[in-house]
Structure 1
Amino acid sequence: MSSQPFPLKRLTPDDVSLLRQLNALFGDAFSDHETYRNHPPSDAYMKDFLGKDHIVATVALAGKSVVGGLVAYELDKFEKARREFYIYDLAVDENYRRQGIATALINHLREIAKRRGAWVIYVQADYGDDPAIALYEKLGVREEVLHFDIGLDG
């Protein structure tokens, strides 16, 4: 934990309840309760998930409540002996936004990524999500890319 106003905690297998709070926060922030709240995984699955070295789940806390968090994945590269981290989800409770929580979460991930030998962290943002785009432009270099979801049924 850090000494900032909203302490950060990298989740471990003992933090299933905090991961469930983070999922609920993601569901609210992304207006996607179907994905984040319906049909939740078992505690055993969540413990296994949090025990994997290549997964970083970090939360910002106000007391015992999760007010922000991110989930990132470490990817080993093959073209060079290096790694990169992908921020899969990042959100802050609407009542706690504009207080530096998202920046603190990313900076915390930067430290983890440096220790793990990564060369970059990358993240996607949706068109129209102007606050996220502004944050990411402040912290990094914008690239224009296309994203495709390839289904498994055809």
Structure 2
Amino acid sequence: MEIDIRYLNEKDLDVLEDDIREMWSKHHVNNKSLISEDTLKNTDLHQYFKRSIKRQKGFSLIAMVDEQIAGIIRVAQEPLEDFFNYKKAYVVDDLVVKSKYRRQGVATALLDKVKEIAKENGIGVLKARIYTFNEPAQNFFEEKGFDQLYGEYFNTLD
């Protein structure tokens, strides 16, 4: 199977919206105190991806298989703390593969392209933001050589 990778355009979001919202709904199910179902439903997907479409401190890529959209990866550029050897990182914050294309190399192809772009832009570190309930994503990134460095803890103040 040949997988082609290109930059996201706004029309792609209409094709991927159901898959992205399905992923987001898992955040609500697992983090109800932080993420409400109504907020997720009302989040403007186009606005959410707007900065990455314009490639402002990040970008999104689309995987194509037989001229069909198979997956998406959204990447943001973030500064690292002064004590790190590298000063900037690319952070993978959304990686969604349509169900019929899973386990066929789509996520790997997207991540490989991110690595290529990072090297071209002098980025020395990739990070992935993965929720604790998302074991398949944790396993994927560990298989790709990512190490868990720290965790973030949230406390809602009611």
State whether residues 9 and 60 of structure 1, in contact with CA within 8 Å, keep that contact through their aligned partners in structure 2. Answer: yes
Q: For residue 53 of structure 1, what is the aligned residue in structure 2? A: 56
Give yes or no for the alignment of 1:110 onto 2:118: no
Paired with 2:24 and 2:153, the residues of 1 have a C-alpha distance of 19
Superposed, which structure 2 residues align to 1:134-149 within 5 Å?
Answer: 134-143=139-148, 145-149=150-154
Q: For residue 24 of structure 1, what is the aligned residue in structure 2? A: 18
**Per-residue deviation, 1:108:** 0.4
In structure 1, what residue type is equivalent to 2:3?
Answer: F
Q: For residue 33 of structure 2, what is the aligned residue in structure 1? A: none
**Per-residue deviation, 1:51:** 1.1
Cα-Cα RMSD: 3.2
TM-score, length basis structure 2: 0.73
Superposed, which structure 2 residues align to 1:38-49 within 5 Å?
Answer: 38-39=41-42, 41=44, 49=52
Secondary structure class of the residue paired with 1:140: coil
Give yes or no for the alignment of 1:97 onto 2:102: yes
Structure 2 unaligned segments of length 5 or more: list them. Answer: 29-36
Query: Relative to structure 1, is the Cα distance of residues 35 and 105 closer, same or farther in structure 2, using a 3 angstrom cutoff?
Result: farther
Query: Relative to structure 1, is the Cα distance of residues 54 and 27 closer, same or farther in structure 2, using a 3 angstrom cutoff?
Result: same
Query: Relative to structure 1, is the Cα distance of residues 17 and 150 closer, same or farther in structure 2, using a 3 angstrom cutoff?
Result: farther
**Per-residue deviation, 1:22:** 3.2
**Per-residue deviation, 1:44:** 7.8
Give yes or no for the alignment of 1:124 onto 2:129: yes
Query: Relative to structure 1, is the Cα distance of residues 35 and 149 closer, same or farther in structure 2, using a 3 angstrom cutoff?
Result: farther
Paired residue for 1:7, among 4, 9, 13?
4
Quick one: percent identity of the two aligned structures?
A: 22
Superposed CA deviations along residues 104-127 of structure 1, whole A, max 9, x for unmatched, are 100100011111111111113333
Q: For residue 32 of structure 2, what is the aligned residue in structure 1? A: none
**Per-residue deviation, 1:147:** 1.6
Greater helix content: 2
Query: Relative to structure 1, is the Cα distance of residues 148 and 81 closer, same or farther in structure 2, using a 3 angstrom cutoff?
Result: same
**Per-residue deviation, 1:78:** 5.7
Residue range with higher mean Cα deviation, 33-42 or 115-124? 33-42
